[in-house]
Amino acid sequence: MLMKKLLLFAAILCTFMSFAQAQDATINANRVKYWVGTGNNQAIFIVNWCEPDTALAWGFKFSEDSLLVSDMLTAITTADPRFSTQGTSSWLTNLIYIDGSDTFKIATGDYVVYNRNGGYANTVDLEYFYPNDYLKFGGWDCADMDENWTSTWSTPIEPVEIPGVPVADATISASEIQYWVGTGSNEVRFIVDWDNFSSALAWGYRFDGESVLVSTILDDIATADPRFSYAGTTSWLSDLKYFNGTDTLTISPDYVVYNVNGSFADAADAQAVHAGDYVKFGGYMSASLGECRWIEDPAWGDYWDYAYVWTNLVIPVPSPVSVNEYNSQKLSVYPNPCTESIRIQTNINDDVVMYNLQGAVVMSTVAMDEVTTLDVNNLPSGIYFVKSGNKTAKIVKR
């Protein structure tokens, strides 16, 4: 798709050394998957490889107030056999990452440089790092440099996968879909993973014929369901929104990207899908990258194309309810306090989501009956919130 080509072309081409400081790319700790060490403090370790131009991130946990960067390097190379260094702690000559058939290196003859939080850093045996810092290494040749010779790299960063644990794109079966748009004997699942909500929502789409364009599905669902809308064009989506009665779920100001069946997709107005397929939209920054392929494109130049993966739980969208139904909604959760299970009583069919005090979703379901039971026996003791529609109840788990 046009948007994908533009983003990946811009992200993957090496920016050769200049004296105009570029924006240093980083990654949120909640996206990091592979953590080394123990303790309540955490920092992020990133390597920007020049060949190919890819950035990968590990997490590092520690209990001290500060540690030397060389301590982190040693711990990660010891824990992850895929990663190794060459040279000394004062003069690193290469960084190497081998994962199966893929080998990443700082280019031969290049210098290994690094920064701390996007700023100048000393040699790794003299530089300390602190909680919530990030350390970023890379090749000197593909770094942007300022007048103080501080190195930055703008390549988007992906979390290193835990060895032996492949990333699986979360989906949903057609039998679980509640809200269907269109008519016909063929079915496609339409899913959106939201940036500001730790789950994804799914609609169903029915049609006749051999195939249907993704842009047609997008337009028909936005027309049929007033809770859902998008901004931009089907070639360049700038925003997706869903209003569930109280909260607005968005993909903004992130870039909107998508896949078909967890794999590569073209522009929505050029991509056809068939019976049994699923289409999944989401934010570029909240996605993991799956398989990749090299594209030789005379119009845009050669670039890496990636399949996008989101792992959040997929919840079926409930059928729309009127404003009056939302205003008259009731929610009762008992027993409270609870120990093993809770019963949720509501008068509308809607998502039921349980959060902890930190706002993380610990459990979710859909209230299909007047009373829904949730097993909370394995949850830690504490305070939780149960939300359905525009109602929220606080409970205590003992």
Q: Given 316, 343, 359, which residue is the final one in a domain?
A: 316
pLDDT (0 to 100) of residue 382 = 84
pLDDT (0 to 100) of residue 9 = 30
Q: Given 282, 316, 350, which residue is the final one in a domain?
A: 316
Per-residue tokens: 338: 């609870």
Residue 356's domain is classified under what CATH number? Answer: 2.60.40.3080
Position 166 in a domain = no
SS3 5: helix
% of the chain beyond a pLDDT of 90: 30
pLDDT (0 to 100) of residue 284 = 83
Per-residue tokens: 248: 């607005």
Residue 47 C-beta-side C-alpha neighbours within 13 Å: 23
**Number of domains present in the structure of the chain:** 3
Q: Do 178 and 293 share a domain, yes or no?
A: yes
Q: Do 218 and 311 share a domain, yes or no?
A: yes
Give a three-class secondary structure readout of 76-129: HHHHCCCEEEEECCCCEEEEEEEECCEEEECCCCCCEEEEECCEECCCCCCCEE
Q: Do 120 and 136 share a domain, yes or no?
A: yes
* Model confidence band, residue 105 (pLDDT cutoffs 50, 70, 90): confident
Q: Do 21 and 152 share a domain, yes or no?
A: yes
Position 56 in a domain = yes
Q: Do 240 and 366 share a domain, yes or no?
A: no
Position 7 in a domain = no
- Domain range for 97 is 13-159
The answer to whether 321 touches 351, Cβ cutoff 8 Å, is no
Position 291 in a domain = yes
Q: Do 89 and 39 share a domain, yes or no?
A: yes
Task: Quick: pLDDT tens for 150-201.
Answer: 888 888 888 888 776 556 788 999 999 989 999 999 999 999 999 777 779 9
- What amino acid occupies position 328? S
Q: Above 90 in pLDDT, residue 101?
A: no
pLDDT (0 to 100) of residue 10 = 33
Q: Do 308 and 369 share a domain, yes or no?
A: no
- What amino acid occupies position 184? G
Q: Do 178 and 311 share a domain, yes or no?
A: yes
Q: Above 70 in pLDDT, residue 35?
A: yes
Per-residue tokens: 274: 């068939």
Instruction: Identify the helix (H) or strand (E) that includes residue 324.
Output: helix 323-327
Residue 281's domain is classified under what CATH number? Answer: 2.170.130.30
Task: Quick: pLDDT tens for 283-319.
Answer: 887 887 777 677 777 776 776 677 888 888 898 998 7
Q: Above 80 in pLDDT, residue 213?
A: yes
Q: Do 284 and 384 share a domain, yes or no?
A: no
Comparing 91 with 173, the larger pLDDT belongs to 173
Question: What's the predicted TM-score (pTM) here?
Answer: 0.47
Position 105 in a domain = yes
SS3 335: coil
Position 5 in a domain = no
- Average pLDDT for the chain: 82
Task: Quick: pLDDT tens for 223-277.
Answer: 998 889 988 877 778 889 998 777 788 887 668 899 999 888 888 999 999 999 9
* Model confidence band, residue 390 (pLDDT cutoffs 50, 70, 90): low
State the first-to-last Cα distance of the chain, in angstroms, to the nearest integer. Answer: 51
Position 106 in a domain = yes
Position 344 in a domain = yes
Instruction: Identify the helix (H) or strand (E) that includes residue 75.
Output: helix 69-79
Q: Do 306 and 340 share a domain, yes or no?
A: no
Q: Do 35 and 57 share a domain, yes or no?
A: yes
Distance CA 249, CA 228 (A): 9
Q: Given 264, 284, 316, which residue is the final one in a domain?
A: 316
Alpha-helical segments (H) within the chain: 2-12, 69-79, 214-224, 323-327
Exposed/middle/buried for 392, CB within 10 Å: 0-12, 13-18, 19+?
A: middle
* Model confidence band, residue 16 (pLDDT cutoffs 50, 70, 90): very low
Distance CA 397, CA 383 (A): 6
Instruction: Identify the helix (H) or strand (E) that includes residue 245.
Output: none
Task: Quick: pLDDT tens for 317-348.
Answer: 987 654 444 456 678 888 988 889 998 887 76
Distance CA 76, CA 54 (A): 19
CA 205 to chain centre: 25
